[in-house]
Chains A and B, each alone.
Chain A
Amino acid sequence: MDAGEKSFIIRMFHVHHNFGSKKALIDITLDIAKNEFVFISGPSGAGKTTLLKLLYLGESVSEGQVLIDGINLSRIPRKKIPILRRKFGIIFQDYKLIPTKSVYDNVALVLEAAGAKRRFIPKKVKSILRSVGMEDRLKSFPPSLSGGEQQRIAVARAIIGDPKIILADEPTGSLDDESAEAILDLLKDAHIRGATVIIATHDKSLMRKTGGHVLVLRQGRIESSAFLEKQYDAAIY
């Protein structure tokens, strides 16, 4: 590994992904540097969600290579997959909260799964729920929460483990402007603390507000890759 490679946390080389005979991603090659703020944009069906799934091994590539923090995903043993996934904090489009577990248990799950010391878990969970404004709902169950509240819990779960990479799939898709703004602020905050943030969205206003590396996908191919000037000042956070 040379000095140049070290600065990239994600590398994709000529990646193809097929669902049966349908080509979802075609010849994707890209590098994402550590602590980048990246938007993957494009119309519905362009392959945004599929691209995110390839990163955390939600899907395997049909062809090509993916490297995450220097790990080649084609060669990763099954036993090491949980360790790879702990590098990520993932905000799913459908939140993927466990409906039968409380807000507290949903968020604590990440730390418990990572084998964190039990006495630190309650304090950290309460602290993170406070930061997303949900500290008074820790005993509630996800079905009793609004979409915006569930999304905030999903964000809390994604950032509690201090992941190196945060993946967010349409994190503001079904939210009102105020809730969307709050979610975006949380992601910016994680970015300032050193995380690489990758957001799949077709919301252009979100990119304009934030700036960063914008990749546009169309019909499974990278149509364009550009850097927008950041519109927020890291110093104020």
Chain B
Amino acid sequence: MMLPFIKRAIDDILQNRFLNFVTIITISLAILIASAFILFFVNSSEIINSWKRGLRIMAYLKPHIPNADLTHLEHSIQSLDGVHTLRYISKQEALDRLKAQLKHQSFLFEGLPENPLPDSFEIRMTASTGSWQKIESLAAQIESLALIEEVEYGRRWIGRFVRIISLFRLAGYAMGALFFVATVFIVANTIRLVIYSRREEVEIMRLVGATDRFIKLPFYIEGLIQGGLGAFIGLVMLFISFFFISANIEQGISPGLFRPQFLSATTIGGILLGSMLVGWLGCYISLKQFLKA
């Protein structure tokens, strides 16, 4: 039933190679930019997750806490929701660690009258403590305990990074919507040129008794083919770029913890369908205006 229309659509694409090529390239560039954004979000979320997995809360204790209170405090922290393990780090152990880390500047510690570092607990969280809000809430609960002086969990820089990513995500949604609308209009205008170049043919079809459906269907199929091909080319370009730069990212950002990943099959399917929708919508808008005239 649809086969003759598909054949006509392919014939029409081959007859109007240049205009169709322009449309497909326009779609593929829009898809490349939009899917690059998606790829960035997917991987930045993965980076944050990998950092979260390595994240720990340092709870610094008030000075001179009796051993009995220390055990009680340890139980109090352990019982909090989201705490996986905790380890007591005495002020001496902390100083030894610091000295080991700064072995070339060990002279800095020579004149110290006493160890200035506090005792602390190093707290690791369960896997379910994924969201930033949960980490903040857990840290606040620990900080509210009477014997805790201060809590540190790298909130400044990780928090800032999460906020930046959120901003990027918002900008990404806005840009995605903008690209969608812009591409629809570019496709609509390109298809308008195709239709305009074939207005005589469309007029003849009408004069011999062709219905609007008979005239429109091959154009719609053309739009779907253009959208599908545009997405395919855009995604191939993205994959090639990804292939060449992913190795550098892997080494640079977080070796061992994070491995850059390409878009999932579901996302690729979604992009393909979205792109076909763009092609179809462009056709729909153009034809509606053209056939009304």
Residues on A lying within 8 angstroms of B by beta carbon are: 56, 58, 79, 82-83, 85-86, 88, 90, 96-98, 100-101, 109-110, 112-114, 118, 157, 161
Contacts and interface: CB of A to CB of B under 8 A. Distances in A.
Contact of A56 (B15, B200, B207): B207
Contact of A100 (B15, B206, B207, B208): B15
Interface of B: 4, 15, 200-201, 204-212, 214
Given A112-B4, A113-B214, A90 B205 contact: no
23 contacts: A82-B206, A82-B210, A85-B207, A85-B209, A86-B208, A90-B207, A90-B208, A96-B204, A97-B204, A98-B200, A98-B204, A100-B15, A101-B201, A109-B205, A109-B208, A110-B209, A112-B4, A112-B214, A113-B209, A113-B210, A114-B209, A118-B4, A157-B208
Contacts of A56: 207
A118 B2 CA distance: 12
Contacts of A101: 201
Contacts of B212: 82
Contacts of B205: 109, 113
A83 B209 contact: yes
A198 to B, nearest CB: 16
A110 B15 CA distance: 21
The A interface is mostly helix, strand or loop, or mixed, namely: mixed
A82 B204 CA distance: 12
A109 B214 CA distance: 10
Contact of B207 (A79, A96, A112, A161): A96
A79 B210 CA distance: 11
A204 B211 CA distance: 38
Given A82-B206, A85-B206, A109-B208, 18 more contacts: A82-B210, A82-B212, A85-B209, A86-B208, A86-B209, A90-B208, A96-B204, A96-B207, A98-B200, A98-B201, A100-B15, A100-B201, A109-B205, A110-B208, A110-B209, A112-B214, A118-B4, A157-B208
A152 to B, nearest CB: 17
Contacts of A88: 209
Nearest to A88: B209
A118 B201 CA distance: 21
Nearest to A78: B212
B205 to A, nearest CB: 6
B1 to A, nearest CB: 10
A56 B209 CA distance: 10
Contacts of A110: 208-209
A88 B209 CA distance: 9
A168 B63 CA distance: 109
Contacts of A96: 200, 204, 207
Nearest to B3: A118
A56 B206 CA distance: 11
B136 to A, nearest CB: 63
Contacts of A109: 204-205, 208, 210
B157 to A, nearest CB: 63
A113 B200 contact: no
Contacts of A114: 209
A170 to B, nearest CB: 17
Contacts of B214: 112-113
Nearest to A109: B208
A161 to B, nearest CB: 8
A29 B214 CA distance: 35
Contacts of B204: 96-98, 109
A79 B211 CA distance: 8
Nearest to A112: B4
A196 B206 CA distance: 21
A113 B208 contact: yes
Nearest to A58: B207
B4 A82 contact: no
Nearest to B203: A96
A85 B201 contact: no
B55 to A, nearest CB: 65
Q: Which 4 A-B pairs have the closest CB atoms?
A: A86-B209, A113-B210, A85-B209, A82-B211
B201 A82 contact: no
A222 B61 CA distance: 111
A222 to B, nearest CB: 25
- Give the one of B200, B208, B212 with max A CB within 10 A: B208
Contacts of A98: 200-201, 204
- Give the one of A82, A85, A110 with max B CB within 10 A: A82
Nearest to A158: B208
A204 B60 CA distance: 113
A27 B212 CA distance: 33
B173 to A, nearest CB: 41
